[in-house]
Amino acid sequence: MTGLGLLLRKEIREQARTMRLVAVVAVFALLGLLSPVFARYVREIVEAVGGGQFEGMIPEPVVGDAVVQFTKNMGQFGVLIAILVAMGSVATETERGTAAFLLTKPITRGAFVAAKVIAIGALLAIALTVAGVLCWIYTTILFEPLPVAGFAGGVALVWLSLVAFAAVTFLASVVTRSGLAAGGLGFGAFVATGILSALPAIGPYMPTSLWGAADALALGTVPDPLAGPVLANVILVLAALGLAGWSFRRQEL
């Protein structure tokens, strides 16, 4: 892992200089902020737009709606952003030739891959933390305070689900050496997990299953099952990243 620290500093500076950090955090912050607002006012909005025809059809919003809206937003826009962030991470450097520039220096391929993975994970963690804090504050203002530990645990589960999709896309980015192909495969995996989650045998272990568990945790209850899905997704992430590292070490640049 020679050069890992140097490459990590480079990745962080790159995210800041290219405005990727700001853009991703801003989108997540907006999603975090709007989730409780939308949950609180969706009834009024629909009734106002419908001119009274929907009056009484939508129940009074509760705190759980804010949480569900948050995980739903992260499960859609958050996943898409995670795929966008991961799809070009290795492929772009391979295509542009900057990977060849780096890897003729005393830097190992393992460090190159690890720095990318850590940077993606950290970017999603920072963005989700900001989104989570804003969501919690606005939920407290508009509804009632959520249990802090449970809500943080829920956000951590959402983070794990995003990292799972990012890891699969990252693997595709390494193997296909094309950002576009990696994005397509990442999105394909997103759609496939949506379909597979309907199967009782494997559905609870899909990354998408973590969102329901996140809702329960955020609302102060312990989801069942929890350990199995978490473990399954951790294994999925580690397997995807291990395969990516193995594949990259064998590639010619």
Partner 1 sequence: MNAELAIVARGLTKRYGDVLALDALDLAVPTGSVFGFLGPNGAGKTTTLRLLTGLGRPTAGTAVVAGVEVGGRGTDLARRIGYLDQDPRFYGWMTGRELLTFVGRAYGLGGAALRSRVDEVLETVGLSDAARRRVGGYSGGMRQRLGVGQAMLPRPAVLLLDEPVSALDPEGRRDTLELIGRLRGASTVLMSTHILTDVERICDRVAILDHGRLVTEAPMGELLGRHARPILELDPEPGQDAAVAMLVAALRAAAWTREVREDHGVLRVIVTDAEQAAAEALPLVVATGVRLARFERVRPTLEDVFLQLVGADGTGEPGPVEPGRVEQVP
Least distance (Å) between residue 249 CB and partner 1? 8
Least distance (Å) between residue 253 CB and partner 1? 5
* Angle in degrees, 0-180, between the axes of helices 4-17 and 20-49, rounded to the nearest 10: 50
Nearer to partner 1, 49 or 250 (CB): 250
Least distance (Å) between residue 173 CB and partner 1? 18
Q: How many CA within 13 A on the CB side of residue 42? A: 14
Nearer to partner 1, 106 or 200 (CB): 106
Cα 199 from Cα 126, distance rounded (Å): 33
Nearer to partner 1, 56 or 106 (CB): 106
Gyration radius (Cα) of the chain, Å: 20
Cα 21 from Cα 28, distance rounded (Å): 11
CA angle at 152 for the pair 147 and 155, rounded to the nearest 5°: 125
The dihedral built from the CA positions of residue 38, 39, 43 and 44, taken in this order, carries a sign that is negative
Nearer to partner 1, 13 or 144 (CB): 13
Least distance (Å) between residue 115 CB and partner 1? 12
Least distance (Å) between residue 60 CB and partner 1? 50
Least distance (Å) between residue 80 CB and partner 1? 24
Nearer to partner 1, 223 or 245 (CB): 245
Nearer to partner 1, 5 or 225 (CB): 5
For residue 93, which of 13, 179, 32, 198 has the smallest C-alpha distance?
179
For partner 1, the binding residues (CB under 8 A) are 2-3, 6, 10, 14, 17-18, 96-98, 100-101, 103-108, 252-253
